[in-house]
Amino acid sequence: MKLAALFLFVTLTAAAQTPPPARPATDPDKIADALRAGPTFITKDATILDWPTTKGGEYRVLRKGASEWTCLPAFPGYSHDEPGCFDPAFMQWIKQSLAGQEPHIETVGIAYMYVGAWVPNKSGDANTPKGEDFHVGPHIMIVSPHENQKELEAFSHDGSNGMPYVAHLPGGTDLYLVIPYHQSDEH
């Protein structure tokens, strides 16, 4: 499937929510954190998982859901709280990538990150010195099968300017497209 053929309308508004503690430690805190990651129509029936304690380990179920969506709390060890909700293809891609395997998916995958993410500032924005982290507001991510990587290479790798960009997971090389839909207020 060509990414160029993918047509996506995003008309979502992130609901104002009370943030949980900075580092969710208990299962209820992890569930609350994961529920902040996406729209209610996704999170209400999503399975909530906790990250594995070892590379390639099992994801622990915190709440069983009725849909194919999976939400996770902030990734352990990250300096910022970045929960996410993932469709089956994107979740498979994450699991394989973080387990050190070559990711292999057959279709486009979609993920939500309503809390946003922190990325290195590559533009030298006047409010954020070059090299320091920059907060990308709420966004949707799209991953595609490996054979479509060439299409993604043309996108910017700079997430600090509010425009769509590509990134890869730490230690990974496969790119995914990030589409911000609300400018971050934290410049």
pTM of the shown model: 0.76
Compute the CA torsion angle 58, 87, 119, 19 (nearest 10 deg). Answer: -80
What would the pLDDT profile of 1-44 be if each residue is shown by its tens digit? Answer: 333 333 222 222 233 344 444 568 899 999 999 999 999 999 99
How far from 92 is each of 31, 109, 111, 186, CA to CA, in Å? 20, 9, 12, 31
Beta-bridged to residue 67, according to DSSP, are: none
How far from 97 is each of 2, 40, 109, 171, CA to CA, in Å? 22, 27, 14, 8
Q: How much helix, strand and coil, in percent to the nearest 5, is found in the chain?
A: 20, 20, 60
Q: What is the pLDDT of residue 138?
A: 81
Residues near 105 by beta carbon (within 8 Å), at least 6 away in sequence: 89, 92, 93, 143, 144, 145, 146
For residue 178, give the nearest of 139, 144, 147 by alpha carbon: 139
For residue 94, give the nearest of 35, 16, 168 by alpha carbon: 168
What would the pLDDT profile of 62-118 be if each residue is shown by its tens digit? Answer: 999 999 999 999 887 666 668 899 999 999 998 998 888 888 899 999 999 887 666
Cα–Cα distance for residue pair 187/184, rounded to 1 Å: 7
158 token code pair: 């700079």
Phi then psi for residue 41, to 5 deg, are -65, -15
**Structural domain spans, the chain:** 23-180
96 token code pair: 């394989």
Q: What is the pLDDT of residue 19?
A: 47
